[in-house]
Amino acid sequence: MSKTGIRETDLYAPVKTLLEGQGYEVKGEVGAADVVAVRADDDPVIVELKTGFSLSLIHQAIERQSITDYVYIAVPRGSGAAAWRAIKNNMKLCRRLGLGLLTVRIEDGLVEIHLDPTPYKPRKSKQKKTRLLKEFAKRCGDPSPGGATRPGLVTAYRQDALRCLCVLSDSGTIRAFEVAKTSGVKAARRIMYDNHYGWFERTGNGMYALSPKGKAAAVDYAATLKTLPYYDTDKINA
């Protein structure tokens, strides 16, 4: 089923379009899931994207069943009799495991639903579900396409750090409580103190400024800053 040159991210837009057509809000790379779709109070739908069927894909999909019953796998649609036999064989496997199966025709983005998840009751993890939905809700927009690699993903935590970076880029050295007030990030002091990305420098008691790495990040993330609610083109020189 895999095709040379196809990336997992090539599957994301067609799958997202399908789910949005069913009334879902869709975001990529939320927690460990490639695609998460949420609609009202329904349980979330999770889709794992791969360029072909594999044991690792099945393992990932089974792990997501600890969050929701509605787990699909999505792979590119091949052509010919051999491709159809592969679909039929993997439908049998997915049905036994309680998984749904989608294929994506790369040429025109057509998504075929071959199988919906069947009733299956593995042990659920309320903690994982809560963490995933919390991350989904905290993110602004859909900054990371499903299937993207983990380094550089714009998580909710990174978006909060970028809010702090935005304020410091405008104000220079400033007190932590003022960063929190201006950015709307309640945990601004902790984020700057922990400094996971190396963007901030503590210049005094409760005072912070951007490090050289932070100044570079303000340029590198200029496009992302424009998507965040606090962004003000009069304040940030992108």
- Write out the DSSP string of 143-169: -S-TT--STT---HHHHHHHHHHHHHH
Q: Is 151 left (phi over 0), alpha (psi -120 to 50) or beta?
A: beta
* Domains of the chain and CATH, by start: 9-138 (3.40.1350.10), 156-225 (1.10.10.10)
d(CA 12, CA 148): 10
Helix H or strand E encompassing 48:
strand 45-49
Whole-number pLDDT of residue 79: 82
Query: Helix or strand or coil: residue 6?
Result: coil
The confidence score (pLDDT) of residue 236 equals 40
Q: 100-105 and 70-76 as β-strands: parallel, antiparallel, unpaired?
A: parallel
Handedness of CA 168, 174, 180, 183 (dihedral sign): negative
In the numeric block, which tokens belong to residue 93? 């496997």
Q: Which residues of the chain are under the pLDDT cut of 50?
A: 1-3, 231-238
Q: Give me the pLDDT at residue 118, please.
A: 83
Residue 104: per-residue pLDDT:
95
